[in-house]
Chains A and B, each alone.
Chain A
Amino acid sequence: MIKKYQKRTTRVSAIRDAIIDLRRTLREYWLLFSNNMLGITGLLMLGIFVAIAITAPQLAPYDEWEMGVCKPFEPPSAVHLFGCDELGRDLFTLFLYGTRVSLIVGIVAALISTMIGGAIGIVAGYTGGKIDSLLMRITDTFLSIPAIVLMIILAALLGPSFVNIIIVIAILTWPPIARIVRSQVLSVKEHPYIEAARAVGAGSLRIMTRHILPNVMPILFANMILQISNAIIAEAALSFLGLGDPHTTSWGMILHYAHVSGAIAAGYWWYVIPPGLGILFLVLSFVLIGYALDEIVNPRLRRA
């Protein structure tokens, strides 16, 4: 029952209240997060990578595609910090540009796959019945097939391009997210306020977007961060197998060139080590942030 003397909610006051609440929640989460030393380390590492990605053209001593700036396979020196590839390109320059591709592909692919997984998980968990069984059978089928096999084939069929790599990763990595979200939805939908919303006549779509989604948002977000690290590894793997976009440089691509140019058999370690370390630390930063967030939003994991 709405009492007559109750202040009417206006759009402005609703937004103001929302922002105040959001700030309070964020501050709480931030306090928990900043207590988590590993999470902070991850955030700092990520900050460095983002800075490199943004300023790559300024930092890079050479042009990305300029060949013959040094001798083929020249070892590292003061002029060429990471040495040179078989075409006489500066590997340090390539490394800087590679940061961009790994970050963008990782974030965009993870965003899309989280949205797909979230939508499927919410619909399956909330609707139940036949739709749930069908969606879960599809999810399980995707989960039991080795992802790389599908990724390789789809990437080969679609052809190598920057956008295609993102699509391939996004549409093949959502199943774990769908599973996690669905189980969360199953418990959320038992809450009395969902029943109340239904009683006042809210439709399924409205309940799913307005009441269920906000409740699974924190878990969704934490998993999206972890998903980014998976997407970065997937991009590196596909590029390494020669399925990446030849018009962009990614760390996986550098390792692909190292593999096919015979740099390993010749012992040119400088060709191999930096891009791998780049992948390792970028992935690690997202893993650290992701688990710190998971610890915050997942009360079961919180240390007493």
Chain B
Amino acid sequence: MSTLGDYIVRRGLQTLVAFFILITIGFFLFRVMPGDPTAILLLNPRIPPETRLLLRERLGLDEPLHLQYFIFIKNFFMGEFGYSFHYGRPVTEIILSRKMFNTITLVGSSVVLAIAIALLMALVAARRRGSRSDAGLLVFSLATYSMPVFWLGMLLLLAFSVNLGLFPLGGTISATKVHESTLDYITDYLWHMALPLTALVLIQIGYNFLIMRNTLIDISMEDYVTVAHAKGLPEKIVMRKYVLRNAMLPFVTIVALQLAGIFTGAVLTETIFSWDGLGLLLYEAVTTRDYPLLQGLFMLIASAFLIANYIADILYAILDPRVRYR
């Protein structure tokens, strides 16, 4: 017999294995692949050669490869990712900052909004399957699903910022404006967030809607729903107590599975709207070839997602006990 406790431990061990796979990927990317992370320092004549030697020593680049691997593992668990070439500050400090807050705010609110809107659309479509509004919603979601998010962002900018002048061209906050109160600050923040949020929500709605519509239609054809109808229960009650309640689990799964994909969208959205988050930071780290920052970003973002997946799995097991027996 398998209990929840066993499941948590088993998934915990699997997550630990995943962490070692992640560290190995990171090691191959940043140590084994050609290219010396300190080489970029040569481009700057003001940096003395001793600095480079010191950095090589600190990163353990002169050690044999297998020793480097252990140093890499140790540094990872100590949260030691070195100093950013570009900012000159510890990588961990740059990442665990306001930028992370900005990304979480943008992504988090987009996920919630996209679920709510897609659910409403799915309810309409599933109830009137095959109708004109169903077809319209399907076309809409197929189109947004096939759209690159950065292009959608460009269109929103062209329409609402450039032509109508309703929203700012980018950024997180008006740099020159003096904010009189907290409320004033929040309003300014939300005003900047409106367009990137719209782009991220639109891009998720298509996928969410297609899955939710299918789930709702599948469940409406179950025998117990037919029985509920036959008993003469009103449509609203059948929907809420029989169909929606059973549709909740698949919804949870799709959101958890989509998490990594949404972040991908966030990187591109932040780049287009200069939203001061981790995605924009990643873009800047690539364009400035900021090696330590790239490595830190990769390891920290990937770790966050491994842990998030672990938590999602456990929540799912609590909601649906059948999972544990797998």
A binding-site residues for B, Cβ under 8 Å: 137-138, 140-141, 143-150, 152-154, 156-157, 229, 233, 236-237, 240-243, 252, 255, 258-259, 264-267, 269, 272-273, 275-276, 279-281, 283-284, 287-288
Contacts and interface: CB of A to CB of B under 8 A. Distances in A.
A153 B298 contact: yes
B286 A241 contact: yes
Contacts of A252: 148
Interface of B: 14, 17-18, 21-22, 25, 29, 33, 35, 142-143, 145-148, 150-151, 154-155, 157-158, 162-163, 169, 259-261, 263-264, 267-268, 271-272, 282-283, 286-287, 289, 294, 297-298, 301-302, 305-306, 308-309
B276 to A, nearest CB: 17
Given A137-B14, A240-B150, A287-B142, A272 B155 contact: yes
Given A240-B148, A241-B283, A265-B169, A149 B301 contact: yes
Contact of B282 (A149, A283, A284): A149
Given A267-B162, A276-B147, A276-B155, A149 B35 contact: no
B22 A146 contact: no
Contact of B145 (A146, A242, A287): A287
B306 A144 contact: yes
B272 A149 contact: no
Given A141-B18, A276-B154, A280-B147, A259 B272 contact: yes
Given A229-B146, A267-B158, A272-B158, A145 B151 contact: no
B7 to A, nearest CB: 16
Contacts of A241: 268, 271, 283, 286
A10 B264 CA distance: 54
23 contacts: A137-B14, A137-B17, A141-B21, A141-B25, A144-B259, A144-B302, A145-B260, A145-B305, A145-B306, A146-B302, A147-B261, A148-B264, A157-B33, A237-B150, A240-B150, A241-B271, A241-B286, A242-B286, A258-B154, A265-B169, A266-B162, A273-B155, A287-B142
Contact of B146 (A147, A243, A283): A283
A29 B216 CA distance: 29
B148 A279 contact: yes
A280 B146 contact: yes
Given A149-B267, A259-B272, A156 B286 contact: yes
A82 B145 CA distance: 25
A153 B29 contact: yes
B287 A242 contact: yes
B22 A272 contact: no
A236 B149 CA distance: 10
Interface centre among B29, B150, B157 (most CB of A within 10 A): B150
A279 B151 contact: yes
B263 to A, nearest CB: 4
A236 B162 contact: no
Contacts of A138: 21
A288 B289 CA distance: 39
A188 to B, nearest CB: 20
A266 B162 CA distance: 7
Contacts of B18: 137, 140-141, 144
B286 A148 contact: no
B143 A284 contact: yes
A157 B162 CA distance: 36
B35 A267 contact: no
A241 B149 CA distance: 12
Given A141-B22, A148-B267, A152-B286, A255 B151 contact: yes
A156 B294 contact: yes
B260 A144 contact: yes
Contact of A148 (B22, B263, B306): B263
Contacts of A229: 146
A146 B143 contact: no
A242 B272 CA distance: 13
A143 B146 CA distance: 21
A146 B264 contact: yes
Contact of A243 (B33, B169, B263, B286): B286
A264 B35 contact: no
Nearest to A278: B151
A277 B143 CA distance: 10
Nearest to A285: B146
Given A141-B22, A148-B268, A269 B158 contact: yes
Contacts of B297: 149
A282 to B, nearest CB: 9
B154 A264 contact: yes
B309 A264 contact: no
A243 B294 CA distance: 15
B291 to A, nearest CB: 9
B203 to A, nearest CB: 11
Given A144-B305, A146-B305, A264-B154, A157 B268 contact: no
